[in-house]
Amino acid sequence: MRVLVLGAGGFLGARLAAQLAASAQLGGHAIDELVLFDRKPLRTPPSARCRLTALDGDLRDAAVLQALLARPPEVIAHLAATLTLAAETDFRQGLETNVLALIALLEALRARPRTDVGTQARTPARTQARTQAHVPMLLFASSISTFGGALPDVVGDDVFQAPTTSYGAHKVIAEQLLADYTRHGFVDARALRLPIVLTHPGPASGSISDQVAALIREPLRGQATTCRMAADSAMAVVSVDKVIESFLHLATLAADRLPPGRTLNLPGLTVTPAQVVQAVARVCPGAEALVAWQPDAGVQRIIDGWPRAFTSARALALGFGADASVDDVVAAFLRAETQPR
């Protein structure tokens, strides 16, 4: 099996790439070749049990797409994105990375020749006659930021999506595109809406999720940090370990167990910045003294627009779940600190 990871130089992409390279397995199938792609040249994982290929370039470049798809991948993990604050600052860059590059990929997949093997697509009657083989599975990272505005205390499966950031709007567009291309039988898309993912190893990027991550990362390294949100701001978080585990699980599910929209909320753990700092202090006494509290109105507005409690009855029934505690999230970062990069 050939697996392609897009955004393999990023936080999630690098972790997924390392996991796949070490196990050489995905969804119960052996990986023969793992292709890692990013906008810039990247380092490959230090150890691998399968063939590794590293490529870089622009996904909107037809020649780049042709090279990536020259040998059709059975699975594509799309983890490339321009995040919230960057997308707010540079509208065009966010649109190009988060929407136009995805459209270019989907169109390249749609244009690939297919072989009739008599397998009916699960689509409305007007497209049920389509019979295709070798339709790739596409795993996609969506986001909690697709929700916004006046939200209930707990955001579950059926809450209306009204994003209040460009990044959130881009992810809603992506979800709809993935569902429609799947309905037509061009791909087998599966997406998870991710809470704030912890803990980025740095260097600091300035993104909202990284500002939360800094509350764990910097004090544990003996460094000072500034929290730009109120200490009691409730937010939904998830460890990167749980995210990778969840994407691997998502790849094992039969297609007919997924909802028509093809996207699930990944249940999150609700915490506050104060609780995060307290958890760090339990393993690193005095860590709280390294955190300065200076709430920023712009950051606070974004945090307040996101779900405070994030869950999914559908995801829970399919075997997904949240981290047990914020202490587990801190422990996961400490384990990652001891691993080679």
Q: Contact at 8 Å (CB) between 177 and 106? A: yes
3-state secondary structure of 121: coil
Establish whether 181 is a catalytic residue.
Answer: no
Q: What is the mean pLDDT of residues 139-149?
A: 96
Tell me: the pLDDT tens digits for 250-273? 999 999 999 999 999 999 999 999
Q: What is the mean pLDDT of residues 66-71?
A: 91
State the catalytic residue, choosing from 167, 247, 310, 320: 167
d(CA 77, CA 190): 10
SS3 content of the chain, % helix, strand, coil (to 5): 40, 20, 40
pLDDT at position 125 is 38
What confidence tier does 338 reach under pLDDT thresholds 50, 70, 90?
confident
Scanning the chain, the segments in alpha helix (DSSP H) are 11-23, 62-68, 84-89, 91-95, 101-111, 166-183, 208-220, 240-250, 273-283, 297-304, 313-317, 326-337
Range from 22-36, 74-88, 102-116 carrying the lowest mean pLDDT: 102-116
Q: Is the pLDDT of residue 110 over 90?
A: yes
Give the residues across from 293 on adjacent strands: 227
pLDDT at position 260 is 93
What is the rounded average pLDDT for all residues in the chain?
A: 91
18 vs 208, which has greater pLDDT? 18
What confidence tier does 46 reach under pLDDT thresholds 50, 70, 90?
confident
Taking residue 218's Cβ as centre, other Cβ atoms within 10 Å add up to 19
135 vs 338, which has greater pLDDT? 135
Angle 13-19-25 from CA coordinates, rounded to 5°:
115
DSSP code for 100:
I
Share of the chain above pLDDT 90, in %: 82
218 vs 116, which has greater pLDDT? 218
Q: Is the pLDDT of residue 116 over 60?
A: no
What confidence tier does 115 reach under pLDDT thresholds 50, 70, 90?
very low
Tell me: the pLDDT tens digits for 24-33? 999 899 999 9
Q: What is the mean pLDDT of residues 94-99?
A: 96
What confidence tier does 177 reach under pLDDT thresholds 50, 70, 90?
very high
> Which residue reads 């649109």 in tokens?
95
pLDDT at position 131 is 36
Tell me: the pLDDT tens digits for 283-325? 999 999 999 999 999 999 999 999 999 999 999 999 999 999 9
Q: Which CATH class is domain 81-337?
A: alpha beta
pLDDT at position 205 is 83
Token output for 91: 């509208």
Q: Please name which of 64, 69, 67, 83 lies closest in space to residue 12, comparing C-alpha atoms.
A: 83
What's phi and psi for 208, nearest 5 deg?
-60, -45
Token output for 198: 């912890």
